[in-house]
Amino acid sequence: MRKKFFIFGIAILILSILSYYNLKTSVLFPILCVSLLFIGFLNSIQHKHAILRNFPVLGYFRYFFEMIAPEIQQYFIERTTDGKPFSRNERSLVYQRAKNIDATTPFGTQLDINQSNYEGIKHSIFPAKVNDDMPRVTIGGPDCKQPYSASILNISAMSFGSLSENAIVALNKGAKKGEFYHNTGEGGLTEFHLQGGDITWQIGTGYFGCRTKEGNFDADKFVDKSNKPEVKMIEIKLSQGAKPGHGGVLPASKNTEQIAKIRGVEPHTTILSPPSHTAFNNPSGLIQFVAQLRSLSNGKPIGFKLCIGQSSEFEAICHEMIVQHCFPDFITVDGAEGGTGAAPLEFSDGVGMPFEPALIFVNKTLINLGIRDKIRVIGSGKIISGYSILRAIAMGADLCNSARGFMFSLGCIQALRCNNNACPTGVATQDKMLMKGLVVTDKAERVYYFHKNTLHAANELLAAAGKTAYSEVDNSIFMRGDEFTKLSDLYFPDNLTSVSQL
């Protein structure tokens, strides 16, 4: 292709020059030909890109289409029920509720519900009255001196750094108006989080905001921030669903001088949080750390977040709670399908237990050990609708956190550019120009309405199932398609006398 490029390129150049001198055509075309030939020559002698070396100039089209591949996939190829991690229908649902406009759909479901993976709620012929009150759950065990009344839907952990300052401010202002909490993520508690909304301060392995110069936990700095009135709870991050066992990742392009100062690190470098904590390295140390943070914060609710890996390790933590007679006030359960701003693909795709079995396991373990009543369980795994809230509660959660749902409410379009500082909506970027596109006053309202309308939908589903309280929700109100597989090929033949016999 190189030879053809230069043969045809030189031929067209000669013809353009002759046309210019003989026919007095514009000089721009010969200049363009010379420029393209020069670029093609440089590409043909470089050693880094085989495509450009073999296809001078034309090779750029390959990189262009690769760059816009997510948009082509999203806008021209995928159906409304396709799309990962969230389908277009799911994203549209959030956009509509965040804008407080009609979130109904016409003509019927687009899903194939005659499949074994179908899930639905068993509605009651006698539905209950829809409750207009927003449900809340009190968090605080026997050793907690400052229990907190939390909404059953809250903003999950997303750090300043991963998200822009405008996004953080809008989230917190929306949380203030809707009276739900905003988890800081492991990037630390910043001025942008302190807009009046309730805060759950997450302490990760990097101890950002309460770290020594060596990167260890600093009790004095923790005391100063944890006792702020906006901080209602403290969460120890053991692992995250999207990258369990790895630690947080902040790409160098997003690590500005401002963020580096907040975190106590070098700017413009990729920040990799340690995989594990230095304040403890076993179940006994973890429970002692819980007790320490509770004391330092004057009795505020203390909990930890984890993605389940080796189930025996979680069981060991629970046994240590009993031995020390010290219980966290809450446990946040993340699933392997959880979101992230940046993670190695192997960790996102191949490490950790999915949300559903993890939540069921944690709940049953706490029940079997007789300590479930002392601990609240928070579900954090693709919570985006009223249905997903009820589903998480049925599997053992007391309340839920959502990250990507609230990102969509801010305007996120699932562009998949969170890790390169090029988020087109200003949500997950530190680019000042892109950040300006996110207007805080408008997006804070959308955060508020997404929360309000999603909980209203959950209340409607609860009533449709004939229930009046979330404490009544369990797996019995759900049906799965595989319950009907024994009938799938028979469809009630003549000799079928009782469905219950199958």
The per-residue pLDDT for range 418-452, each reduced to its tens digit, is: 888 888 899 999 989 999 999 999 999 999 999 99
Distance CA 297, CA 147 (A): 12
In whole angstroms, what is the distance from residue 132 CA to residue 456 CA?
7
307 sits in which H/E element = strand 302-307
> Which pLDDT belongs to residue 484?
66
3-state secondary structure of 157: coil
Least confident span in 61-65, 368-372, 406-410:
61-65
State yes or no: pLDDT of 84 exceeds 80: no
Does the pLDDT value for residue 304 go beyond 70? yes
| Partners of 357 in the β-ladder | none
Mean of the per-residue pLDDT values for the chain? 87
Predicted confidence at residue 502, as pLDDT, reads: 41
Note the pLDDT of residue 48.
83
Q: Are strands 119-121 and 478-480 parallel, antiparallel or unpaired?
A: antiparallel
Q: Token pair for residue 476?
A: 């019995």
How far CA 260 is from CA of 73, 164, 263, 374, 438, in Å, comes to 36, 14, 5, 38, 23
| Rounded average pLDDT over 410-420 | 86
Residue limits of CATH 3.20.20.70 in the chain? 136-480
Q: Is the pLDDT of residue 280 over 70?
A: yes
Residues 6+ apart with CB under 8 A from 340: 240, 242, 243, 249, 348, 418
- 240 alpha-carbon distance from chain centroid: 10
Residue 497: pLDDT band by 50, 70, 90 thresholds?
A: low
Structure tokens given for 17 = 């020059």
pLDDT digits (tens, 9 = 90+) for 113-148: 877 778 899 999 999 999 988 999 999 998 999 999
Q: Per the structure block, which two tokens stand in for 34?
A: 């010379």
If one compares 153 and 492, the residue with the highest pLDDT of the two is 153
Q: Is the pLDDT of residue 100 over 80?
A: yes
Residues 458 and 465: their CA atoms lie apart, in Å, by 11
d(CA 22, CA 16): 10
Q: Would you say residue 489 has pLDDT above 60?
A: no
Tens of pLDDT along 172-203?
Answer: 999 999 999 999 999 889 999 999 999 999 99
Three-class SS of residue 181? strand
CATH entry, 136-480, from 3.20.20.70, 3.40.50.300, 1.10.630.10, 3.40.50.970:
3.20.20.70
Coil, strand or helix at 264: coil
- Does the pLDDT of residue 60 top 90, yes or no? no
Q: What is the pTM of this model?
A: 0.84
DSSP 496: -
